[in-house]
Homo-oligomer: A and B are copies of this chain.
Amino acid sequence: MSASKDIEQGATFTPKFDSDGLITAISQDAVTGQVLMVAYMNKEALDLTIKTGNAVFFSRSRKRLWKKGEESGHVQKVRQILVDCDQDCLILKVEVDQGQCHVGYQSCFYRALKPDSLVELEFIAEKVYDPEQAYKK
Question: Residues of A at under 8 Å CB distance from B?
Answer: 8-13, 24, 26, 28, 32-35, 37-38, 47, 50, 80-85, 89, 91, 101-103, 105, 108-113, 117-124
Contact = CB atoms under 8 A, between A and B. Distances in A.
A79 to B, nearest CB: 9
Contact of A38 (B24, B103, B111, B124): B24
A37 B84 contact: yes
Contacts of A109: 82-84, 91
B85 A122 contact: no
Given A32-B33, A91-B35, A120 B82 contact: no
B35 A35 contact: yes
